[in-house]
A and B are shown apart, each in its own frame.
Chain A
Amino acid sequence: MAEYKWPEAEKRKYIGKRISRVDGPLKVSGKAKYAYDINRPGMLHGKILHSPYANAKIVSIDTSAAEKMPGVRVVKLVQGPGTTVQWAGDEIAIAVAADEQTATDAIRAIKVEYERLPHVVNDEKLEAVPAANKRTTQEFVQGEPDKAFAEADVTVEGYYGNAIITHCCLESHGQVVEWTDANNVLIHPSTQAVSSISNDLAKALEIPAGNVELKMDFIGGGFGSKFQIDRWGTECGKVSKMAEGKPIKIMLERDAELTIAGSRPSIYAKVKVGAKKDGTLVAWQSEGWGTGGVAGMGAPPLPYMLRTASGIPNIKANFSSVSTNTAPSRAWRAPIHPQVAVITMGALEDLAAALKMDPIEFLKKNINLFAPRAEIYSQELDKAMELSNWKANWRPRGAGAPGSTKTVKRGLGVSMHTWGGGGHASNCDVTIHPDGSVDLKSGTQDLGVGTITVLNIVVAETMGLPMEAVKIFIGSNRYPASGSSGGSTTIGGISGSSRRGAVDALNQLFAKVAPTLGVKPEELEAVDGKIRVIASPSKSMTWKEACAKLGSQPITVRGVNRAGDRELSSSGVGGVQIADVSVDTETGIVKMNNFYAVQDCGLVMDLKTAESQVFGAMIMGVTYSLYEERIMDNNTGRVLNPNMEFYKLAGAMDIGNMKVHMMTGKGYDERGPVGLGEPPTNSPGAAISNAVANAIGVRVPTVPLTPDKVLAALAGKKGGQSNAKI
């Protein structure tokens, strides 16, 4: 009889192996259809008029010219006169026309009169932010920080921070919505929440939730920004109704995507850390601030990983939330972790440099503060040292690693990180058909992490079938509900539900065929396309023969994974990354030489897509460490770079050489699958920033480490001088 628990390593045929993603061929051939690609019969196009001002009252709106334009079908206000818009890019009106050009002309013809109000759009210079826009969100104390600093042998003060970045999904936010009749709606969205956003649309359209059908085969990036129906989604449904139910496509233009469709909060902090002569970390103090837009932000946990009972014994951490006239932030791949890693691991590296200690030696000295993952980090630090040949390549700060020249300095930096990643609630239906075919249906989504592939692996592995024998259907709210893909919860969740569903379905099949084989169901196993008796494997029947016993009725079983279920998956991972960079001290340009990641995710389900996740996080990390930044203009209150030439992403050859090592085996496999999307995103900023400090002998305080900041730090100018004072 099949059991839920994951098979032992020697019995795994697909789990943990390098399996190519099963939807790969559709994607490389252009056949994968995204919301942006949906063309429905008679479809119209909607365009959004956005506010040009960051803080303004709408005095009047004149849509008459737009309405009169030939080809325009609907002009609808989203926010009417009297409303105050609080960020540039907020939606004012929508125009719908037969083609995109006409709809664009129509929104240009809408005349809006605004009464402008003062705005605040930048927060790095906290002293320049009006008091009304600041509030204290955290005053944390642990132990006796003042006393501990007085007694510390070495104290280092520094300034560290992170500029705001955006999600910059390549498929912008949007959807196609149509009314299939007077009461029913069909939506093709781009969403991370297949099983939930249809409910929000139904509510907004005042129809029962079951009257909304949602279909999404593929999504072109989300990274935390696509959990909501969004106002452009509900408005799309409303204008479709006004256009007598016609399908309407509204996808955000690139400038809107980069302005309103999601950003990661800034976090800055002035930090003081203290240690004993031997490197024992004794005290932390931070004054932090940051913004997530109009609503400000919460209270990030500083110091990262170390604010626990077993962490740094003496801590004082204050935080101020800044409210700015910018679009609200959204969850960005590992919310808050990358930013607090830059601050914490940067300060610790500066402390190690002041102590004249190798930073890895320093981390190992304090490894018990990183409970409960001290052992995992120790193993990972060793592995990362080996991969990077740390001992041969690392040199004390400013000494220049081997290969440095008079003007180009090489340096190495390290960081560690954690994340939860326990599986979410997930349901699926597993069906074994009398003809031997097998399918699984679940209202989940594949953001590119390999959801479809992992579901296929689990069912095929469980039933002893080839991958091709199993068909996976996802991306519909008409399938059993499954959690949103956020917080690295998907693989843990869907692995649990699919395993249980597949095992239960298989056991029902065993019960059907056991009499024929003359044994009890619990004496059977499914291996290599056969159902066979465990004790005498020659007594068997083929999968097809077995399924034929079902007669005309297929077996369908609901597989369930409950939130917080830790039987088949668990939560909490550790990772270590080492960056190796070269800095041109004449131009300030930082180049990646090598980048190493050692990562734990419990039981690896598919080694190929798991490594891809880590590579992807590292590349995204190079991007936020060196290139990307949302730049706000104080005068106009607008984003200055809402396009892809000035909002910079790393290119294929900007990333240096990369190596990923997944931790597997004892201590890892038995924890079951743990989510992997977020964790490796957390360390790159800190590792790269530390590598740059190691190379040039001075901290460049904030990421991205753009040439201007590197040169300023080198010149000891403001913004670069505050660090590493003993």
Chain B
Amino acid sequence: MSSFTKAGDEKPALPESEPDLAVSRRSFLKGSGLALSVPLVAGNIRTVKAAGQDVKVHGPNKVSITLDINGKKQAATVEPRVTLLDTLRNDLDTTGAKRVCDRGTCGACSVLMDGKLVYACSVLALEAQGKKIQTVESLAQNGQLSPVQQAIVDNDGQQCGFCTPGFTMACTALLNKYPDPTDEQMRLGLGGNLCRCGTYVGLREAVKQVAAQKKGGRR
């Protein structure tokens, strides 16, 4: 479809490059696949003195950032207030992490950040720079489901599937930390995620299946 514009779309020019982020406008546009009609007001990072220190101030308009998503460097241009979740979903078309409560309650947006489980709705995209982000899309290797993914399929720990990516990441993080979790560890490990269809029985069995496999046997 052709691009439609109107007066309101005219924006201040985008700076040619962001030296400190090492992403040129050209490479950003190439990498992001964004249409030129999307208003771009990127690149206003200022340095101010605060308590005698140089402090970088981002925004309030869009700034160019680079994120390490599933081992790939990806560029985006977002307002400083935009979350990692919205950047993944809206700017990078990585939609495994879901937006449900959007305020750190339901866990549907769970991803690993430097190996630690976080709610992507509660991390700003700017804060995620320089961190290794792993989403549910990274778990299967060469078309082979991870043991956690396979166990969730085997035990039908999913129905509509909207909470499933979040639970898959939560189960993965739980089992990374506790290969054979106690009930209490499972309570804490799965307690940050919610499901509406009611798939908890299958999910608990899935965790037990992986734990049993890690111990060298199947339950």
Alpha-carbon separation in the docked complex, A246 to B202 (Å): 41
Stretch from A81-89, A146-154, A373-381, A646-654 forming part of the interface with B: A646-654
| B149 and A652 contacting across the interface, CB-CB below 8 Å | no
Count A interface residues, CB 8 Å: 76
9 contacts between A and B (CB under 8 A): A34-B162, A69-B8, A70-B11, A73-B6, A73-B9, A171-B98, A244-B4, A619-B200, A620-B198
Instruction: List residues of chain A with CB within 8 A of the CB of B105.
Output: 643-645
How many A-B pairs have beta carbons closer than 8 Å: the answer is: 215
Q: A28-B149, A448-B197, A616-B159 are in contact. List 20 more A-B contacts (CB 8 A).
A: A21-B158, A27-B161, A28-B145, A28-B165, A29-B145, A30-B135, A30-B136, A37-B98, A69-B8, A73-B6, A99-B38, A170-B98, A246-B4, A609-B156, A612-B156, A613-B159, A619-B199, A619-B200, A652-B186, A653-B200
Roughly how many angstroms separate A47 CA and B134 CA in the complex, as a whole number?
29
Task: Tell whether B57 is near chain A: CB-to-CB under 8 Å.
Answer: no
Chain A positions 166 through 202: 1 when the CB is less than 8 Å from some CB of chain B, otherwise 0? 0011111000001010000000000000000000000
CB–CB B162/A220 < 8 A: yes
Pick the residue among A28, A613, A644 that contacts B168 (CB under 8 A): A28
Residues of B within 8 A of A42 (CB): 1, 3, 35, 37
Do the beta carbons of A24 and B153 come within 8 Å of each other? yes
Most A Cβ at <10 Å: residue of B35, B152, B196: B196
Stretch at the interface among B20-28, B43-51, B81-89, B208-216: B81-89
Q: Is the CB of A25 within 8 A of B197?
A: no
| Shortest CB distance B196–A (Å) | 5
Provide the bound-state CA to CA distance between A219 and B186, in Å.
28
Once the chains bind, are B152 and A29 in contact (CB under 8 Å)? no
CA distance A72 to B168 in the complex (A): 37
Q: Is the CB of A170 within 8 A of B158?
A: no
Q: Which residue in A39, A70, A221 is a CB contact (below 8 Å) of B160?
A: A221
Shortest distance between the CB of A262 and any CB in chain B (Å): 12
A70-B198 contact in complex given A28-B149, A170-B108, C-beta closer than 8 Å: no
The one of B6, B39, B101, B190 in contact with A653, judged by C-beta atoms closer than 8 angstroms, is: B190
Shortest CB-to-CB span from A185 to chain B, Å, is 13
Q: Give chain A nearest CB distance to B29 CB in angstroms.
A: 14
Kindly state the separation between the CA atoms of A169 and B158 in the bound complex, as whole angstroms: 14
Q: How far is the CB of B198 from chain A (nearest CB, A)?
A: 3
User: Quick check: is A101 within 8 A (CB to CB) of the other chain?
Assistant: yes
CA distance A168 to B101 in the complex (A): 10
On chain A, the residues within 8 Å of B67 by CB distance are none
Determine if B180 is an interface residue (Cβ-Cβ < 8 Å): no
Known contacts: A73-B6, A171-B160. The answer to whether A101 contacts B145 by CB under 8 A is no
Contact B103 A30 (CB under 8 A): no
**A644: B residues at CB distance < 8 A:** 100-101, 103, 105-106, 194
CB nearest neighbor in B for A651: B191
State in angstroms the CA–CA spacing of A37 and B137 once bound together.
14
Max chain B C-beta neighbours (<10 A), residue from A24, A102, A219: A24
Q: Do residues A30 and B198 form an inter-chain contact, with CB atoms below 8 A? A: no
**Nearest CB in chain A to that of B97: its residue:** A30
**Does any Cβ of B come within 8 Å of A449's Cβ?**
yes
Asked whether B199 lies within 8 Å of A25 as measured between CB atoms, the reply is no
Proximity string of chain A (70-82) to chain B, C-beta cutoff 8 Å, 1 when within and 0 when not: 1111000000000
Given A448-B160, A608-B156: A37 and B95 interface contact (C-beta under 8 Å):
yes
Chain B residues with CB under 8 A of A449: 159
The interface residues of chain A lying within 8 Å CB-to-CB of B186 are 652-653
B139 sits at the interface (CB 8 A): yes
**Residue B164 at the chain A interface, CB threshold 8 Å:** yes
A715 proximal to B (CB < 8 A): no
Q: Is A433 an interface residue (CB 8 A)?
A: no
Given the complex of chains A and B, what is the CA–CA distance between A36 and B98 in angstroms?
A: 8
Beta-carbon contact of A618 and B198 below 8 Å: yes
Query: In the bound complex, do residue A221 and residue B197 qualify as a contact, i.e. CB atoms below 8 Å apart?
Result: yes
A30 near B96 (CB under 8 angstroms)? yes
Partner of B193 from the list A34, A41, A72, A652 (CB cut-off 8 Å) is A652
Q: Mark B74-114, 1 if CB is under 8 A from A, else 0.
A: 00000101100010011001011111111101101000000
Q: Is the CB of B160 within 8 A of A220?
A: yes
**Interface residue? B55 (CB, 8 A):** no
Whole-angstrom distance between the Cβ of B110 and the nearest chain A Cβ? 11
Nearest B residue (CB) for A611? B156
Chain B residues positioned under 8 Å from A645 (CB to CB): 101, 103, 105
In the complex the two chains form, what is the Cα distance from A293 to B49 in whole Å? 56
A101 and B90 CA atoms in complex are apart in Å by 11
Q: A253, B153: Cβ atoms under 8 Å?
A: no
Say whether A695 faces chain B, with CB atoms less than 8 Å apart.
Answer: no
Contact partners of A39 in chain B: CB under 8 A? 89-90, 93, 95
Query: What is the CB-to-nearest-CB distance from B197 to chain A, in angstroms, rounded to a whole number?
Result: 5
User: Whole-angstrom distance between the alpha carbons of A57 and B9 in the complex?
Assistant: 34
B161 and A220 contact, CB distance less than 8 A: yes
Q: Which of B37, B160, B197, B202 has the most CB of A within 10 A?
A: B160
* C-alpha gap A25/B41 in the complex (Å): 40
B73 within 8 A of A: no
CA of A174 to CA of B81 in the docked complex: distance in angstroms?
24
Identify B162's interface contact among A221, A613, A649, CB under 8 A: A221
Q: Inside 8 A of A221's CB, which chain B residues have their CB?
A: 160, 162, 196-197
